[in-house]
Structure 1
Amino acid sequence: MQIDQNRYQIQGVDVLEIAREFGLPLYVYDAEKIIEKINTLQAAFRGVQLKIKYAAKALTNVSILKLMRSRGIDVEVVSINEIRMALLAGFEPGQIMYTPSGVSFGEIQEALALGVRLNVDSLPLLEFMGQTFGSTKPVGIRINPHIAEGGNIKIQTGHKDSKFGISMEQRSQIRAVVERYAIPVVGLHIHTGSDFKNADAFLKGAEVLFELANDYPNLEFLDFGSGFKVAYREGDHSTDIGELGRKVTAAFQNFCEKYGREIDLCFEPGKFLVSESGVLLVNVNIVKENPSRTFVGVDSGLNHLIRPMMYDAYHEIVNVSNPTAEKQTYSVVGYICETDTLGWDRSLNEVRPGDVLALKNAGAYGFSMSSNYNSRFRPAEVLVYEGKPYLIRQRETFEDLMRGQIEVDFEEEITVKK
C-alpha cells in the first residue's frame, strides 16, 4: 500500500474507487503484500527444510487460502470447519495441521477421518488417541514450555498457567502414555504467544523441544508456532526476520546434526502474513464536537474490528478523502451501543461527514473475529490481485441475519388457548 499527496493506493488502485465500487464499510487486502511476507520468511530460512503453515484463524477466507496454497504454503487449523474450508481451497489432507484446544473427541474423530495431521494438546486427548487408535495414527504433541513472553497477556499462550499444550513438567507422563499404546509421535509443537520482538523467545522454546526430542527417535518435524511482531505505527518495533532466520537456522542445524538426520522446521504465521495487507475502509457518519474532545462517528465498530477494545491494540487511521488538509485531533468511535473506540486522540487531516477513513493493519483478526452484534451486517471483503480488485465475500443482508431463526407467533398461541 502507498500514499501519495492526493491518493491512497493499493497496487496502483485508488481505494476511493474501490469504496465506490463495493460500498462501505469494506475490508480490502493486498495480495502483493501477502506474497512479499511469504518471500521474506522463505528467504530467511534457506538453510533448513522449512515448512510454512498459514494459521487460518487470522483470516479464514477461501480465496486467501487459495492464494497461500498457490505460493507453496501449508495450513494450520484449529476447528473442523477450518479443515473443511482448507480442503475446499484445494489443500491435501497431509498439508493440513490440526491443533485443537479442548474440543470434543467426536470432532477429533471427524477430523482424523478426513486425513489431516493432528497435534495433541492434552494428556486426556493423548490417552484417547491411544485407546481408540493404538499405534495406527501418528500425532504431533503440543508442549507448554512455560515461557511468558510476548504482547498482551490475552495472546500469551506458553506460560505455566495457560490452557494450551501439555506442560513440559509432565514429560514422563507423556512418555508413559505413548509407550503404553505405541503411539507414533512424529512431531513436537509449541506456540508461546504473539508479538515477540526478537529471536531469543524462539530460541528458548527451541531448547525445550530439542531436549524433549531425545524421547522420540522418529520425528518428522519440530514446529515453533509463530508470534512474529508486526509494526502498527511509525517507529514501532517488529520482529527482525533476518536475525530470527540466522539464529534459529543455526540452532536447528546443530540440533539435526546431533539428532542424526534432517527433519522439517515449521512455523505457523498468521498475523505476520496478512495483517499489513489489510485495511478496513469506513464512512464518516458524524463529526461531534464536545467540550473536551471531538468525536468522529463511523459506520463500523467493534463488531468489525474488535482488537482495539479487546487488546487495546493500536491501528493507524488515515483520512483518505482529505489527505492534504490541516491536521486536527479526533477520537474515532464506532456505532455500536458500547464504549466502542477505534482510536483515541488521533491527529488526522480535517475530517468531514462523508469522508472515508482507512484503518490499517486490519488483515488479521478483523473479519475473522467480527460479529453481528447490534444486528449489524458484516462487511464485504475485496482482494487486490495483480492490480485488479476482486470481491471475495459478499456484504451480509437482512436475510443473512434471519437465517436459522424460527419465528413463533405467541399472540396466535394465546388466542388458541383462550
Structure 2
Amino acid sequence: MQRTEPQNYLIQGIDPIQLTEQFGSPLYVYDGGTIRRKVAELLHAFAGINMKIKYACKANTNLAVLKLMREIGVELDVVSPGELEMGKLAGYNASQITFTPSGVPFEEVREAVETGAIVNVDSLPLLEWFGQTYGNTKPCLIRIKPNVAAGGNIKIMTAHADSKFGISVLLLDQILEVVKKYDIKIIGLHQHTGSDIKDAEPFLKVADILFETAKHFPHLEIIDLGGGFKVSYLPGDAITDMDLLGEKISERFKTFCKEYGRELQLWFEPGKFLVSESGYLLVKTTVVKEDPARNFVHVDSGLNHLIRPMMYGSYHHILNLSNPDGALKSYNVVGYICETDTFASDRELPEVRKDDILAFLNAGAYGFTMSSNYNARLRPAEVLIDNGQARLVRRRETLEDLLQTQLGM
C-alpha cells in the first residue's frame, strides 16, 4: 500500500501533536485557511454571475467559524431558532440569514419572520399559514422538491419523491393557487438535492426544473440551488469539478435570466463543502488489542463525538501522527462508547501504539454539531487555526456542564 501520510503533518505550520499537549485529547481542530480556500473556489467557479453563498451552518455552528464566514462575505442558511440566534451573535444582520425549516411549529417561522430573516417555505400548510398571516407584507422563498434522486446514499438524498423536504413540483398548480389567493410575495425558489453529489448532471437536471418552474412566478429575485458538492474523503477521491459545474450552470442561468426578462441572483447553500476539509478530530490511542480475528485500536473518543461513520457509513481518512513511518498493519479503529462504535474497519495504518495521536480527517462538518453526551461522556474542546495562530474557541466540557440543567439532586 502506498503511503499517503505526510512525514511531518502540519496545519498552517502548527504541529497537531503539540495542540493535544496544549489543549488535551480528544480535540477538534479547524483550519481557517482551508475554509477561505473553499469559499474562493466557489466564487471562482461562478465568476461573472450575480451569486451569493449562504453557508448551511448546521454543518458547524461554532461562533468563531460563523464569524470567519461573515468576515469573508458569506451569509447564512439556518434551520432552527437556535442557529438563527447564533448567526446574530456572530454579527450577522437577520436580513443576511435564510431560515429553511423542515416541518417546524409555525411559531418558529413567526419568530424568524419577525426578527427579519427570510423564510424558505417547505410545505403547502405552511404556505397557507404564511399567506393568512402576512399576505403581501413579508417576502419568502418556496422550497421545491424536484423529485430527483442524487447523493452519496439514501440518508443524505433530499430531493427524491419520497423525501420529506420541500413541496413537490407536481403540486405546482396548488402552490400557485395559494400564492394567488393571498397575494404572497414570493421572491425566490429553492431546492436542495442532497449531499456528496459528484457529477454535474444532477445539478443541471434540478436547475432546469427550477428554471422552468420559476417562469410561473413573475416577481422573483432569487434562484437558490442549494448545495451538496462532493468533497474529498481519501487521497485520489473524485470530487465535484467546480469549474466545470460553474461553467455549465452559469450558461443555463444566463439563458434563463434572458428568457425571464431580467437578471436574478443565484444562491448556493454549501455546508460540508466549505468546512469538512478544514476539520480534524485528534484522538489518543488508549488500548491496542491484538485479537485472533482483528487488531483493535481503541481511542479516547467515540460515536458521541463523531457519529458519521456509524450513522452514514462515512469514510474518514486516518493518520498516525505519532508513528507515520511505522510498518503498515490492519486495524479496526474503535471508540470507547458501550455500543458497536467503529470509526474504521480493516484500515491499514502505520503501526499504532498506546498513546499515539491519530487524526481523523474531514471532521469539520457534522462532527461537533452532531455530538452528544451519551454514556455521560464530555464533549471535546475546539480550536481554530487562522493566520498561523491557534485559538481555543470552545472549552472542553466538565461534569458540571452535564449536571447544570438537572433538577433531581
Which category describes the TM-score, using the shorter chain as reference length?
over 0.9
- Give, in angstroms, the shift of residue 295 of structure 1: 0.2
Shifted more, 231-240 versus 68-77: the winner is 231-240
Map residues 19-418 of structure 1 onto 2, 5 A cutoff: 19-407=20-408
CA–CA separation in structure 2 for the residues paired with 1:94 and 1:42: 21
- Give, in angstroms, the shift of residue 133 of structure 1: 1.1
Counterpart AA for 2:271: G
Partner SS state of residue 9, structure 1: coil
Q: For the Cα contact (< 8 Å) 2:5–2:324, is it kept in 1?
A: no
Partner SS state of residue 36, structure 1: helix
Q: For the Cα contact (< 8 Å) 1:275–1:361, is it kept in 2?
A: yes
- Give, in angstroms, the shift of residue 323 of structure 1: 1.1
- 1:360-395 per-position Cα deviation (integer Å, ceiling 9, x unaligned): 000000001000000000100000011110101010
Say whether 1:14 aligns with 2:15: yes
Aligned to 1:411: none
Counterpart AA for 1:73: V
Counterpart AA for 2:396: R
CA–CA separation in structure 2 for the residues paired with 1:174 and 1:370: 38
CA–CA separation in structure 1 for the residues paired with 2:21 and 2:303: 23
Counterpart AA for 2:107: G
CA–CA separation in structure 2 for the residues paired with 1:139 and 1:385: 36
Q: CA RMSD in A?
A: 0.9
Shifted more, 228-237 versus 120-129: the winner is 228-237
Shifted more, 369-378 versus 228-237: the winner is 228-237
Q: For the Cα contact (< 8 Å) 2:5–2:319, is it kept in 1?
A: no
- Give, in angstroms, the shift of residue 235 of structure 1: 2.3
Partner SS state of residue 177, structure 1: helix
CA–CA separation in structure 1 for the residues paired with 2:325 and 2:290: 22
Aligned to 1:416: none
Counterpart AA for 1:188: L
Partner SS state of residue 10, structure 1: coil
Q: For the Cα contact (< 8 Å) 1:62–1:85, is it kept in 2?
A: yes
CA–CA separation in structure 2 for the residues paired with 1:139 and 1:278: 34
- 1:142-186 per-position Cα deviation (integer Å, ceiling 9, x unaligned): 000000111110000000010000000100000000000000100
CA–CA separation in structure 2 for the residues paired with 1:214 and 1:8: 52
Counterpart AA for 1:345: D
- 1:120-139 per-position Cα deviation (integer Å, ceiling 9, x unaligned): 00000000011111111111
Q: Unaligned regions of 5+ residues in structure 2, if any?
A: none
Q: For the Cα contact (< 8 Å) 2:59–2:366, is it kept in 1?
A: yes
- Give, in angstroms, the shift of residue 3 of structure 1: 5.8
CA–CA separation in structure 1 for the residues paired with 2:26 and 2:148: 39
- Give, in angstroms, the shift of residue 8 of structure 1: 1.6
Q: For the Cα contact (< 8 Å) 2:331–2:348, is it kept in 1?
A: yes
Aligned to 1:415: none
CA–CA separation in structure 1 for the residues paired with 2:371 and 2:203: 30
Larger radius of gyration: 1
CA–CA separation in structure 1 for the residues paired with 2:130 and 2:247: 37
Partner SS state of residue 68, structure 1: helix
Partner SS state of residue 303, structure 2: coil
Shifted more, 197-206 versus 360-369: the winner is 197-206
CA–CA separation in structure 1 for the residues paired with 2:274 and 2:338: 33
CA–CA separation in structure 1 for the residues paired with 2:222 and 2:5: 42
CA–CA separation in structure 1 for the residues paired with 2:72 and 2:349: 37
Partner SS state of residue 246, structure 2: helix
Q: For the Cα contact (< 8 Å) 1:94–1:116, is it kept in 2?
A: yes
Structure 1 runs (4+) deviating above 4 angstroms are: none
CA–CA separation in structure 2 for the residues paired with 1:107 and 1:222: 24
Partner SS state of residue 382, structure 2: strand
TM-score (norm 1): 0.96
Counterpart AA for 2:354: P
- Give, in angstroms, the shift of residue 212 of structure 1: 1.1
Alpha-carbon spacing, 1:14–1:242, altered in 2? closer, same or farther (3 Å): same
CA–CA separation in structure 1 for the residues paired with 2:135 and 2:374: 45
CA–CA separation in structure 2 for the residues paired with 1:340 and 1:213: 46
Q: Percent identity?
A: 57
Q: For the Cα contact (< 8 Å) 1:315–1:361, is it kept in 2?
A: yes
Q: Unaligned regions of 5+ residues in structure 1, if any?
A: 409-418
TM-score (norm 2): 0.98
Counterpart AA for 1:253: K
CA–CA separation in structure 2 for the residues paired with 1:355 and 1:268: 38
